[in-house]
Every structure is written in structure tokens, then in C-alpha cells.
Structure 1
Amino acid sequence: MGHYLPDRVVTNAEFEASVDTSDEWIRARTGIEQRHFAAEGQTTSDLARRAAEAALENAGLKADDIDAIVLATSTADLTFPSAATMVQHALGMTRGFAFDVQAVCAGFVYALTNANALIVSGQAERILVIGAETFSRIMDWSDRTTCVLFGDGAGALILEAQEGQGSSADRGILATDLNSDGRHRDILYVDGGVSTQSTGHLRMQGKEVFRHAVEKLAKTAETALARAGLGHDDIDWIVPHQANLRIITATAKKLNHPMDRVIVTVQDHGNTSAASIPLALSVGSAEGRIKQGDLLVTEAIGGGLAWGSVVLRW
């Protein structure tokens, strides 16, 4: 594992001068205390490369030990080429393949599921899975309901093929569940893009997103657990998408899981979209909370709507 956060830390108090909000209001509704913003000229692939380097160092591997890169992002540097190929080049990786996955906040769950499938099908043996975002570039700074929520960052995980018994006692990814429903596009989207010839800003109907999130996140986690032949009592840690503390708490309650066994980083990072789960995994691992053999459930929901979960044993 590895992660990277930009140097600039933005506290809630910084927003008080520009929009009608306060530190107390933001903390009470979201649990967020601060977030990181990328520096001028610092791109998503820059953040991803730094997280990838940290993961490679943590694993004792070199770039050419990796067969593929799957990078989840909604804020790639350019329309093309993919941010993943930029990271491939920046790392000095001269073999294999790289591509981006776009599923907004659910991006890392989608990327991890794709990477697992590539390994199981024999397409690759070792894959660098990255979530990286610069959401500060698509904020409407006059919209107090959204601009205080998001931050920038990147997290990376290296997934490797190993022999197992095919049981829930194996290490690695045990089960996944992916979903989407385009009927709900208008509750969370960016009002611009390449074919509309504008960058656009993030737009969100917060109450509707909250309602869908709690219901769908709990259900997808239960579905993935059932596919793995496991239940609520088998979970050691929930590592959720870090969107909002109230969503995290409500989802844990639906799963009958105590909050002291949930990895929470939203207070320090804000919502970093596809980067939030790998950031939380990296922090939880670095702090020694997540240990080898622990059973983890990760779940996320984002624009689309797209949502899903992964059950894995560390």
C-alpha cells in the first residue's frame, strides 16, 4: 500500500471568508475538519505517481515488476491519453499495460474488481491499482453545499496472484459486487465535459444522495459477503468510501458493525472520490490497525449512480 496527499492543508475556517458557512456547520453535517488541495500545476497523475512509488517501496518492488496499472479517476489530466499511461511512463515502467476506470467515487471498487478479474483470467500476475483525484479543479466555490466537501489525494495498492484453496480463508479478494443505475444521474454529476465543450462544476442533491447511499451501500456489502460465504460477524474492518461521517455511521449501523471497527479518515481528507478507499486502507495499514488475516469490506457509491463493494482478506 501507499498514499500521497498534497502539501496544502485547507481547514474549514478558510471557507468562512468566501461562503456562508462555518467550521461548526461543516463538522456537524459531514465530520470533515480539513482537506488537501493540489498545488498549481500539480495534476492527478502526479499524485497517482507519488502514491504508486510509496506502494512499490512498501512492497520492495520495482516498476518493471508490475504487469499492469488500473487507475480510477474522474479528474484525469487530459482527455487522452489515460492518466494510467502517464503514471506508467513516470515510474519508468517499460512493459505491460495501463488504463483508467471512471466510476466517480465508486471508481476504486470498480478498479479493484477489474484488476482481480485480470489476475484470475491470467492476463496479469501483479497489478498496481490506484485511486487518484483532483476534485478541487471542478468545484463551484460559490456553492457552500459542495465546495467544502471534497479534497485531493491518491492511494495505491499492489495486487498479486497467489495460490489459494478457493475458500473464504484465502488471502486476497474473496468476492465483489458492482451496480449502476443511470436513472439517478441528476442527483450527482458535473455539468460539463468534452462533448459539451466545457469543464463544468460538480452538482449534487445532498439529501437524495444520502438516501440512496445508506440503502445501497449496506445492500451491496451484504451481497458481496454472501457471495464469499461470510456474514456480518466475520468482518474485522469496514473501510468505506469517505464521503460523509453520517453516511459512514448509518451504513455501519445497518450492517450491525461497531464504529470502532470502521476506518474513518474523512475528518482529515474530506471526500477524495476514487482516492478515498485506498487512502483509508493505506492509513489503516500504516497505523497497524489493519493486520494480515483481517477480513475487510470496502463499499462506495458515486455519480452514475454507480456503487459496489469488495470483500477481501488482508
Structure 2
Amino acid sequence: MSTSPTIGIAITGSGSAAPVQFLDNDTLSQVVETSDEWIATRTGIKQRYLATPAESISQIAATACQKALEMAKIDASEVDLIILASSTPDDLFGSACQIQAAIGAKNAVAFDLTAACSGFIFGMVTAAQFLRSGVYRNVLVIGADILSRWVDWSDRTTCVLFGDGAGAVVMQATTAGDRWLGFEIRSDGTQNDCLNLPYQGVDRTLTGEVVISQGTYKPMLMRGKEVYKFAVNKVPEVLEKALFRSNLSVAEVDWLLMHQANQRILDAVAQRLNVPPAKVISNLAQYGNTSAASIPIALDEAVRSGKIKPGDAIATAGFGAGLSWGAAIFRWGAF
């Protein structure tokens, strides 16, 4: 009796893109009361890229996707599924389909996934389920955000942190082995008020007793100390659980790649896990916090620079609004 080959997963391509303009700390100090020294010592950030009015999530993400497809050596027509992790789509109904059209992925189904700064990890986990089941063979997972449109630029506790950008990876089904090793994802809605971007409406009476609310959204709200405590407590825990599922020890991990939120958080988590600084990937200084885009942008830069090599074990973790957090363990590259 013949048996079907086990379906494994490989992460075979990466790509990233950023807006054309950037804002460094010295220039930002002309907008809000702050300084390069104040921002850099508290966050590790030196500059961030900001989308112009003419730029969009779909445009920036499409560029990242094209680079990822080129690295993976597959055509857009071969993509079966596109998952866009974003909290700031161009269209409230979603932007994944716009990206599908922009790159010519005519055979792919596309949808948006919202999990804030954990979105890319949640997107990879979702893609892995489709690949494992045998339904799809080639999936594009994108993390993209333009948070500069939703930041209060008079609030130095938030506006100094965030930047815009997009990153993408190609995940493929394979029978040559398995490089998707394990994951753990979590949520806690009781802490939603620590980091959110809430709806803000104005009541409108349509007729008689029929009253509705129409409006937009407030600027982002964040309780920084609470978010820091949450991250340094929960991220090491979720990484350890994902490593356990992957049958790997911390010592066997080649690279620790976390959501690029704050250098102090990255340092604290690495210290709790006993990961040496040389194994921690960080590009915060150049990009700031790009939300769902931060992990794939940093991954792509490390791959293209030769830092991450085929077969390297990478422990990734995302955390943020929701509150949500998660970790995924994988080895880089095709077989």
C-alpha cells in the first residue's frame, strides 16, 4: 500500500521595500519637543521612513513581493495564496487583492489579516496550515504598514517610534524535508487598552429613533510602560514554548529575530533567554517600528547581506496590539 509523501514547508524567498522619504531624529525635533539623544537612548531609533501622500500600502508591498518572488525563482502566476498582514490598509475592506493585481498573481486568492505587530507571525502560521493540508503549494506572506497616517505627531511618546514599510516571504510546500519547525500564538483582549487605535464616531439621527455613528479613528494610544512589561514577560515565554514544539534548545538557534519595537525590549528578551547580542537581529536604528513589516524587513536585509545562510535556525517573535503575541521557529531557505 503506497502512502503520500509528507508535505514539508520551506521559506524560499524574501523581499522588502520602504517609502522614498525618511525622517531622522534631528529633523523630528523640529516637529515635536524631543532630541536625537532622547529618542536614541530610550528606543535605539535614529530615523524612520515615512510614506508620501502619493505612496500606498499596495505599491510598497507589491515591490517587496516582486523581490521575494525573484529570490524564490517563481513567477507571480504560480502563487496560490496571498496573505497581507496589515493594520493600515489603503482600503478598509482590504488591500491584498490590490497587491494581487499589481504583481499579476492572477491565480492567487488574496485576503487581509489583522493582528497588528504580531500580524506577520500570525500570517506565516496561517499560511503553514494551507501548505500542510496540501491545498496550496506557493504562498506569499506580506507584512506592511503605514502607521505614520495614524500617529499623533504632537505626542512624542508615540510619534518617535513608528515608521512605514513592507516585507514579504515566499513559503512553499515541498517533499524534500521540512523547515517549518514549530509555533505558538496567543491573545489577551483584557489588555486591549494598553495599545489601540480606536474608532471615533459622531452620532447622527437618521429619522425618528434611528441613530447611528459615523466617523473615523482616533490617533494611536499607547501605555508604554505596560507594553514594555507585557513584552519582556510574554515574549520569552512564547519563544520557549515554540522552541519546545520544534525540539530545539535556545543554544541551537542561530538567530533571534523579534518585532522591532524598542531596542530595550530586544535586549531584555535576549538577556532572559541567554541569547548573546551577536545572535540578535536589529535594524531599529534605520527603520523604527514598522509594525507587521518589521520582521520581514529585518529578515530580508539579513538574508541579502549574507548574515542569514541557508539552513540557519531562526526564532521569530511578534507582539503588540490586541494584545497579541506569537513565535515561529523555522530554518531559512530552499532545499
TM-score by length of 2: 0.90
The partner residue of 2:225 within 189, 207, 215 is: 207
Q: What's the % identity of the aligned pairs?
A: 43
Q: Deviations over 1:120-160 (max 9, x none)?
A: 01121010111001010001011000001000000010000
The answer to whether the 8 Å contact 2:78/2:107 transfers is: no
Number of the residue aligned with 2:297: 279
Q: Deviation of residue 41 (structure 1)? A: 2.2
Q: Deviation of residue 173 (structure 1)? A: 1.3
Q: Report the more deviating stretch, 100-109 or 189-198.
A: 189-198
Runs of 4 or more above 3 Å deviation: 193-196
Q: Against the structure 1 CA distance between its residues 57 and 144, is the aligned structure 2 distance closer, same or farther, given a 3 Å change threshold?
A: same
Number of the residue aligned with 2:143: 131
Indicate yes or no: 2:88 matched with 1:97. Answer: no
The partner residue of 2:329 within 306, 311, 314 is: 311
- SS of structure 2 residue aligned to 1:156: strand
The partner residue of 1:186 within 182, 193, 204 is: 193
Q: Against the structure 1 CA distance between its residues 310 and 19, is the aligned structure 2 distance closer, same or farther, given a 3 Å change threshold?
A: same
- SS of structure 2 residue aligned to 1:309: strand
Q: Deviation of residue 229 (structure 1)? A: 1.0
RMSD between superposed Cα atoms in Å: 1.2
Indicate yes or no: 2:62 matched with 1:49. Answer: yes
Q: Deviation of residue 164 (structure 1)? A: 4.8
Q: Deviation of residue 62 (structure 1)? A: 1.3
What is the rounded CA distance, in whole Å, between the counterparts of 2:135 and 2:221 in structure 1? 38
Indicate yes or no: 2:134 matched with 1:87. Answer: no
Number of the residue aligned with 1:39: 52
The answer to whether the 8 Å contact 1:192/1:201 transfers is: no
The partner residue of 2:34 within 14, 18, 21 is: 21
- SS of structure 2 residue aligned to 1:161: strand
The answer to whether the 8 Å contact 1:105/1:274 transfers is: yes
Number of the residue aligned with 2:259: 241
Q: Deviations over 1:189-234 (max 9, x none)?
A: 0132687621321110000000000111100000000001111111
Q: Deviations over 1:236-280 (max 9, x none)?
A: 000110000000000001111011111101111000000000001
Number of the residue aligned with 2:320: 302
| Greater strand proportion | 2
- SS of structure 2 residue aligned to 1:198: strand
What is the rounded CA distance, in whole Å, between the counterparts of 2:154 and 2:214 in structure 1? 22
The answer to whether the 8 Å contact 2:100/2:108 transfers is: no
Q: Deviation of residue 54 (structure 1)? A: 1.0
Number of the residue aligned with 1:7: 20
The answer to whether the 8 Å contact 1:45/1:86 transfers is: yes
The partner residue of 1:225 within 243, 247, 252 is: 243
Which runs of 5 or more structure 2 residues have no equivalent in the other structure?
A: 1-13, 202-212
What is the rounded CA distance, in whole Å, between the counterparts of 1:19 and 1:211 in structure 2? 26
Number of the residue aligned with 1:145: 157
Count residues in correspondence.
308
Q: Deviations over 1:8-42 (max 9, x none)?
A: 01101112112111000000000000010011121
Q: Deviation of residue 60 (structure 1)? A: 2.1
